[in-house]
Amino acid sequence: MSVPDHCGEISRLINSPVMFREPMHLHTSWRIGGPAEIFVEPRGIEDLRAVLTYAAQSGLPLTVIGAGTNLLVRDGGISGIVLKIGGGFSGIRVDGETITAGGGAKLHRLAAAARDAGLGGFEFIAGIPGSVGGAVVMNAGAYGSSVGDRVVEVTCLGYQGDLLCLDGRRLDWGYRKSALQGKESVVVEAVFRGYPRDKDLISSDMEKILGSRRAKQPLEYPSAGSVFKNPPGNYAGKLIQDAGCQGMRVGDAQVSTKHANFIINLGKATASDVLKLIAAVREKVMEKFGVSLEMEVKVLGRD
């Protein structure tokens, strides 16, 4: 069966739009990426289950993404089905000291909901791009705190259509990792717990964090945030800076002069440009410090 035929079959199964050869640069914060053969953003859990079932039965490759803030999609695009967990899973509700958020809810909305409810513990999320699902899977964090610290429960839909409720205490949280990584499941909802705190104090801390981000990060350019994980006992940005990599450029991809662990898109950068620049940075850091930088950004697709 051809890819357009698969698109037609999926369209008949669900009430959500199905796109053929959707440009992935429209769905990544780097504004980079070739087309997805089949692109679906489900409007609800039944459409999500139907697409997962179809992928399993048809043997089509399946890629699940969130807000695309931690992704580099290669220039050849992505084969098979790309499932975006977005607006159909963006609900947020507060109940006492807990907040339940859909996997597609943006993190800045989660932080704002906690502030408005007078719940502390979410201030560090202010300014982190991305959505709840991706943040939970990778245990996103900043300023000494991480998402896993707040998680009570995670609800996932398995690729076979089974709904799983997972105890947040059993998800093996670590630096930029959780037990959810590599699992054939999609985060559809997560429950977080905060603690009572004065709204004005929360707002003040959030503003300080946002101000610090604006001062230290090149937010005026498309990027994927930190490209490399911090090595034990050190900072990737400092190693890159001290290795003389700031300002290095391949095509329109450049190591930021404002924050060395950011690679920015000056306008027309390709994934190939970014990957060549990443390789050059890793080589220089290895030569100078003997440290092998591990990527934090996930690379998807084909050349």
Separation CA 5–CA 2 (nearest Å): 5
Cβ neighbourhood burial of 251 (10 Å; 0-12, 13-18, 19+) = middle
Mean pLDDT for all residues in the chain: 95
The dotted CATH code for 89-215 is 3.30.465.10
pLDDT tier for residue 143 given thresholds of 50, 70 and 90: confident
Residue 303 is predicted with a pLDDT of 86
Tell me how far the alpha carbon of residue 117 is from its chain's centroid. 25
Q: Which CATH number fits domain 218-300: 1.10.10.10, 3.90.78.10, 3.40.50.1370, 1.10.3720.10?
A: 3.90.78.10
In tens, the pLDDT along 81-102 reads 999 999 999 999 999 999 999 9
Separation CA 134–CA 150 (nearest Å): 15
Return the CATH architecture of domain 3-84: 2-Layer Sandwich (3.30)
Domain ranges in the chain? 3-84, 89-215, 218-300
In the predicted structure, residue 144 carries a pLDDT above the cut 90: no
Q: What order of strands is seen across the sheet that includes strand 163-167?
A: 92-95, 98-102, 185-193, 151-158, 163-167
Q: How far is CA 91 from CA 63, 88, 94, 191, 221, in A?
A: 23, 8, 10, 12, 29
In tens, the pLDDT along 28-62 reads 999 999 999 999 999 999 999 999 999 999 999 99
Residue 58 is predicted with a pLDDT of 94
In the predicted structure, residue 142 carries a pLDDT above the cut 90: no
Please state, for a pLDDT cut of 90, what percent of the chain lies above it. 94
| Tokens, residue 118 | 């007078």
Q: Cite the active site residues.
A: 176, 226, 296
Segment 266-289 shows an average pLDDT of: 98
In tens, the pLDDT along 190-225 reads 999 999 999 999 999 999 999 999 999 999 999 999
In tens, the pLDDT along 146-198 reads 999 999 999 999 998 899 999 999 999 999 899 999 889 999 999 999 999 99
Cβ atoms of 278 and 264 within 8 Å: the answer is no
Same fold, 89-215 and 218-300: no
Residue 66 is predicted with a pLDDT of 94
> Taking the model in full, what pTM does it have?
0.93
pLDDT tier for residue 127 given thresholds of 50, 70 and 90: confident
In the predicted structure, residue 274 carries a pLDDT above the cut 90: yes
Residue 231 is predicted with a pLDDT of 94
